A and B are shown apart, each in its own frame.
Chain A
Amino acid sequence: MRGADYKAIRARNDSAWLLPNDGNRSDHRLRADMRRFDDDEEVDLVVVGAGAGGSVMTQRLARAGWKVVCLDAGPFWDPDRDWVSDERGSHTLYWTEPRQIGGADPVPLGSNNSGRGVGGSMVHYAGYTPRFHPSDFHTHTLDGVGADWPITYPDLRPYYEQIEHELPVAGQSWPWGDPHDYPHHAHPVGGNGDVFLRGAAAAGIEARVGPVAIANGRFGNRPHCIYRGFCLQGCKVNAKASPLITHIPDALAHGAEIRAHCHVSKILVDDETGLATGVTYLREGLEHRQRARMVAVAGYSIETPRLLLLSSSRRFPDGLGNDFDQVGRYLMVQGAPQTAGRFEAEVRMYKAPPPEVSTEQFYETDPTKPYKRGWSIQTVSPLPITWAEHVTAQGHWGDVLREYMRDYVHWATLGALCEFLPQARNRVTLADETDRHGLPVAHFSYSECDNDKQLMKAAQASMETILRAAGADEVMTIDRYAHLVGGARMAARPEDGVVDGDLRTFAVPNLYVTDGSVLPTQGSANPALTIMSLAARAADRLKAGARSGVVDAGARS
C-alpha cells in the first residue's frame, strides 16, 4: 500500500498532530499539563525507560485508559534547547554512566549503541527501519544456527505496518524478505547514496533507497527533512522519527506521566505472592518508590539485565527472573564493518541524511558458502570525529592522519550489518565497580564465533566490490559493531529465556520486558522498528486480556 491513511493513523496515534506548528519543536503545553501521579498511588503500569519499546508500551496502554507512569533515567528532551547540530556537543545523548567491556572482542558502548533520556537510542540512531525477514523467526530450524522465536513473522506483520505508518517510513518498494511498500516515497540521495546506487548497479547488486523513518513531506505538524546530515546527533528538525515525537505526545494526551531524571534501582517483588509491586528509583540523590499493578522493563540490552540482576530477593537470590541463569545471556551485536572508498570527485558525505540506500541481497543463508546467515549493506556518513576513527584504525597518526583527513570530502562510506549469532557466553554481569548511586555497574563480555568472523570478511569484500565498481581508487575498512539486542530473550520455555512470546517474564506474571533485550536473533536489520512492533503487539495482548486481570502463568495462549 502506497500512501498513508491519516485518519487511521490518528485514530491510533495522534502524536504528529499534537506537536506545535509554530516553529517550536516541543509540545510545551502538553508537558506542562501532564498528569502527575503520586508515588503511593498504585498505577496500572510503571514502565522503566522511555525508548523504542517503553514509549510504545506507554502510549498504547495510556490510550486504552490505563494509568501509566514511565520513568526515565535521563532528561525529557527539548530539541530546540538541548540538542546541537554538532558532533562533539551531542555527547549528552548517550548513556555515559560507567560500564565495563571485556571478552575476546570487547564492544564499545556509549555513542555507538546506547541512548539516554526520553526517546532512547532512537534519538541518535541513523533512522533505518527495515523489517526482519520471515526467516529470522526460525533460523535454528532453517539453518541450524541461532534460535527459533516463540512467535512468527505473520504475528508481527500487522504491527510492522502500524508502526511504519506512525513513524512514518520512506523508501522504495521493498523486494526482500516479505516484499512490501512504504507509506512515504523515497528521499532524494546525496553523494554517498549516489555512489552506492551507481556501484551496486555496475556490480549487479540490487539496491534500494530507504527504508528510513524520516517523513518525506510534512507529517502532521512535523516538517520536511532539510538534508542537514546530523541524524545521529538528534534531529532538531523533528523530521526523523524517535519516540519523543512519535509516541510520547499521544501518551501525554491520554494521561500518561513521563517522569524524567529517575533512575530505577530495583524492581520490587512480593516474595509471598510472587508478584511485582512497583519499583524504587533515585531522583536527585533521594530514593522513591512507585507502586504499580504491573511493571514493564524497557532499559535495553545492558540496563535491563543489570536491573533484573540488581533486583534479587529471597525468592530470586540470583536476580529477578534468573532461575535458569538466562538473564544477561545471548546478548548480541551486529558485526558492522564500514568500508570507505576514495573518489576524485567531491562526495561530501556529510550532506544529506547518513541513512540513504540499502541492499539486503546478502541477507539470507547462501548454501554455496561455508557460513550461515548473512548481512545487509547501507550508506553511513561519518562526520569528522567518527571519520578520524576510520583513519586511525588504519594505524595512521601524525602527518598521515592529517593528510587523509584533509581528503574527507572525497570519501564515500558504506556500512554492513552482519548477523552475529546468539551465544550464551556473551552476557551482562554485575561488575565490582559501582556508579554514583553506589549500584554495581554492568560488565559486558563479548566474543565472536567463527561464523561471525567469516561474515565480517565476506561483508567487507562485498562493500569493496560496490565501491570499486563505482570508481573508488582506494578503499579502507574499519571493523566495528552496531546495535544491541538480546540479554533477556523470549523463548518457548523458561529454561531457554526470560520472557514468553507476549514479553511476559516466565518468573513473575505481572512483570514484562518490552525492549530489544527480548530478541532471540537479530537478522541483519536495524532493530528499532522490530522493538517498537513487538511492544505494540505486547500492548495489544495485554489490552485484550486486561479484563480477566492477571492471567495465571500456566494458562497463556
Chain B
Amino acid sequence: MRGVYRAPDQHAVTPQNRGRFPGFDVLDEVHTWDEVTAGVVLARLAPAVDLSFFSLAESGCATALLDLLLAQDREPRVPVMAMIDARLAAGETDGWHYDDMPEDGEAWRRTLAALDEDADTLAGRPFARLDSDQQAALVQRVQRLGSDGKQWHDLPAEHVWSLWTRYGCTAFYSHPWAWNEIGFSGPAYPRGYKNIGIDAREPFEVPDAAVEDPVPFAGRIERARNAHADLVGRELGDDG
C-alpha cells in the first residue's frame, strides 16, 4: 500500500458517480506528489467546517443554486457551497470586481436574497423549497437577462451570472472527484510526464471509455441538452 489510507468505497469517486474513466483515481498517485501540493489537495476532502460566511438561510439558497448550476442532483456531491463559504469568509477574491457590482461577499448575499425574493413572488416559498424545474426557470431567466444586457434586481445580470459560475466552477473543478470524472491527472510535481502527445498516456492514466460508447460526442451533448431543456422547459415571462 502506497500513499495515504482510504476506505475501499472511497476509491475512484466521481460526483454523482458520473464519469468516463472507469477506475481512474488521481489520488492513487498522491505518493508521487510533493507534500505541500498533497496537503492542499487532500484538504478538499476534509469534513466541512461550520458555516463561517453565509447565514443558514443563505446557505440553503446557495446550495440549491450551486447544485443546479453544476447538475449535482444526488450524492456523492462535491461540497461546493461549503468551499465557497470558506473562501468568502477568508475574503479571497479574484483581485477585481465590476464597478457596477458590490465586492464579492456582498454580491453573494444580495443575489441570494434576490433569488429568494423571485421564489417568493413565484410560489410563496424560498428558492430552496421550489421544485427543481421552478428553480431552473428562475436561474435560466438570470442568464437570459444577462445575455440581453439587462438588469436583475438592480444588478447587471451578466455580472451576476459571472459571479455564480466563476465561484461555482472554481470550487467544483478543484476537487479530485471532479478530476476523476474528466480524466485529469492532477498534480504532477516532481513526477512530470513522460508520454506527451496525441493518444499518449502515462501508465496511471485511463483511456476515455466513451470511445467504446456507441453514442458519439455530438449525441452525448444532444442528450445533455435535451435533459437540460426538460429542466428549464417551463420558461417564465420576461419582466426583467
Give complex CA distance A227, B200 in Å.
Answer: 13
A6 proximal to B (CB < 8 A): no
Distance in angstroms from B229 CB to nearest chain A CB is: 9
Distance in angstroms from B74 CB to nearest chain A CB is: 13
- The answer to whether B174 touches A111 (Cβ under 8 A) is no
- The answer to whether B173 touches A388 (Cβ under 8 A) is yes
Distance in angstroms from A472 CB to nearest chain B CB is: 11
- The answer to whether A84 touches B224 (Cβ under 8 A) is no
The contact of A85 among B37, B95, B147, B173, by CB within 8 Å, is: B37
- The answer to whether A402 touches B70 (Cβ under 8 A) is yes
Q: Which of B19, B33, B179, B187 has the most CB of A within 10 A?
A: B187
- The answer to whether B95 touches A110 (Cβ under 8 A) is yes
Give complex CA distance A418, B186 in Å.
Answer: 31
Q: Which residues of A contact B166 (CB under 8 A)?
A: 389
Q: Which residues of B contact A286 (CB under 8 A)?
A: none
User: Known contacts being A397-B69, A403-B224, A405-B182, is A102 close to B173, with CB within 8 Å?
Assistant: no
- The answer to whether A86 touches B98 (Cβ under 8 A) is no
The contact of A384 among B41, B136, B182, B220, by CB within 8 Å, is: B182
A1 proximal to B (CB < 8 A): no
Q: Which residue of A lies closest to B173 (CB)?
A: A384
Q: Which residues, 67 to 101 on A, are CB-close (under 8 Å) to B?
A: 80-89, 91, 94-101
Distance in angstroms from A351 CB to nearest chain B CB is: 4
Q: Which residues of A contact B93 (CB under 8 A)?
A: 96, 98, 110
Q: Which residues of B contact A348 (CB under 8 A)?
A: 183, 196, 200-201, 205
- The answer to whether B196 touches A397 (Cβ under 8 A) is no
B45 proximal to A (CB < 8 A): no
User: Known contacts being A398-B231, A401-B71, is A85 close to B188, with CB within 8 Å?
Assistant: yes
- The answer to whether A229 touches B224 (Cβ under 8 A) is no
Q: Which residues of A contact B207 (CB under 8 A)?
A: 346
Chain B, 176-207, contact with A by CB distance < 8 Å: what is the 0/1 string? 00110111111111111111111111000101
Q: Which residues, 406 to 454 on A, are CB-close (under 8 Å) to B?
A: 406-410, 431, 433, 443
- The answer to whether A342 touches B197 (Cβ under 8 A) is no
- The answer to whether B192 touches A226 (Cβ under 8 A) is yes
Q: Which residues of A contact B18 (CB under 8 A)?
A: 402, 406
Give complex CA distance A302, B147 in Å.
Answer: 29
Task: For chain A, give the interface size range.
Answer: 35 or more
- The answer to whether B189 touches A228 (Cβ under 8 A) is yes
- The answer to whether A230 touches B71 (Cβ under 8 A) is no
Q: Which residues of B contact A100 (CB under 8 A)?
A: 96-99
Q: Which residues of A contact B187 (CB under 8 A)?
A: 84-86, 230
Q: Which residues, 383 to 402 on A, are CB-close (under 8 Å) to B?
A: 383-385, 387-389, 392, 395, 397-402
Distance in angstroms from A330 CB to nearest chain B CB is: 20
User: Known contacts being A89-B41, A194-B198, A351-B196, is A226 close to B191, with CB within 8 Å?
Assistant: yes
Q: Which residues of B contact A352 (CB under 8 A)?
A: 193, 196
Q: Which residue of B lies closest to A347 (CB)?
A: B198
Task: For chain B, give the interface size range.
Answer: 35 or more
Give complex CA distance A433, B102 in Å.
Answer: 11
User: Known contacts being A194-B198, A405-B173, is A102 close to B98, with CB within 8 Å?
Assistant: yes
The contact of B225 among A91, A94, A400, by CB within 8 Å, is: A400
Q: Which of B165, B174, B189, B190 has the most CB of A within 10 A?
A: B189
Q: Which residues of A contact B9 (CB under 8 A)?
A: none
Distance in angstroms from B169 CB to nearest chain A CB is: 4
- The answer to whether A98 touches B100 (Cβ under 8 A) is no
Q: Which residue of B lies closest to A83 (CB)?
A: B36
The contact of A114 among B95, B185, B196, B208, by CB within 8 Å, is: B95
Q: Which residues of A contact B223 (CB under 8 A)?
A: 403
User: Known contacts being A384-B182, A473-B217, is A102 close to B94, with CB within 8 Å?
Assistant: no
The contact of A443 among B68, B71, B99, B194, by CB within 8 Å, is: B99
A132 proximal to B (CB < 8 A): no
- The answer to whether B143 touches A397 (Cβ under 8 A) is yes
Chain A, 349-391, contact with B by CB distance < 8 Å: what is the 0/1 string? 0111000000000000000000000000000000111011100
Q: Which residues of B contact A101 (CB under 8 A)?
A: 96-99
Q: Which residues of A contact B217 (CB under 8 A)?
A: 342, 344, 407, 410, 473-474
The contact of B188 among A111, A191, A228, by CB within 8 Å, is: A228
A106 proximal to B (CB < 8 A): yes
Distance in angstroms from A248 CB to nearest chain B CB is: 21
User: Known contacts being A89-B40, A114-B95, A395-B147, is A406 close to B170, with CB within 8 Å?
Assistant: no
The contact of B68 among A385, A398, A403, A474, by CB within 8 Å, is: A398
- The answer to whether B191 touches A400 (Cβ under 8 A) is no
B34 proximal to A (CB < 8 A): yes
Give complex CA distance A97, B91 in Å.
Answer: 10
Q: Which of A85, A106, A346, A474 has the most CB of B within 10 A?
A: A85
A188 proximal to B (CB < 8 A): yes
Q: Which residues of A contact B198 (CB under 8 A)?
A: 191, 194-195, 343, 345-347
B103 proximal to A (CB < 8 A): yes
- The answer to whether B196 touches A191 (Cβ under 8 A) is yes
Give complex CA distance A226, B32 in Å.
Answer: 14
The contact of A226 among B41, B94, B136, B190, by CB within 8 Å, is: B190
User: Known contacts being A346-B201, A409-B182, is A109 close to B95, with CB within 8 Å?
Assistant: yes
- The answer to whether A398 touches B94 (Cβ under 8 A) is no
User: Known contacts being A346-B199, A398-B231, is A236 close to B34, with CB within 8 Å?
Assistant: yes
- The answer to whether B224 touches A190 (Cβ under 8 A) is no
Q: Which residues of B contact A87 (CB under 8 A)?
A: 173-174
Q: Which residue of A lies closest to B196 (CB)?
A: A190
Q: Which residues of B contact A96 (CB under 8 A)?
A: 92-95
Distance in angstroms from B84 CB to nearest chain A CB is: 12
- The answer to whether A89 touches B37 (Cβ under 8 A) is yes
A237 proximal to B (CB < 8 A): yes
User: Known contacts being A190-B196, A351-B193, A405-B182, is A84 close to B37, with CB within 8 Å?
Assistant: yes
Listed from nearest, the 10 A-B pairs whose CB atoms lie closest are A226-B192, A110-B95, A88-B174, A190-B196, A388-B169, A102-B99, A96-B95, A403-B224, A85-B187, A85-B189
What are 27 inter-chain pairs, A to B, with CB distance below 8 A?
Answer: A88-B40, A89-B37, A89-B41, A96-B93, A98-B97, A100-B96, A106-B99, A110-B94, A227-B194, A228-B189, A344-B217, A346-B201, A348-B183, A348-B205, A351-B196, A384-B184, A385-B169, A388-B170, A392-B165, A399-B227, A402-B71, A403-B224, A405-B173, A405-B181, A406-B20, A406-B183, A409-B182
Task: Show the binding face of A for B, using Cβ within 8 Å.
Answer: 80-89, 91, 94-102, 106, 108-111, 114, 188-191, 194-195, 226-230, 236-237, 342-348, 350-352, 383-385, 387-389, 392, 395, 397-410, 431, 433, 443, 473-474
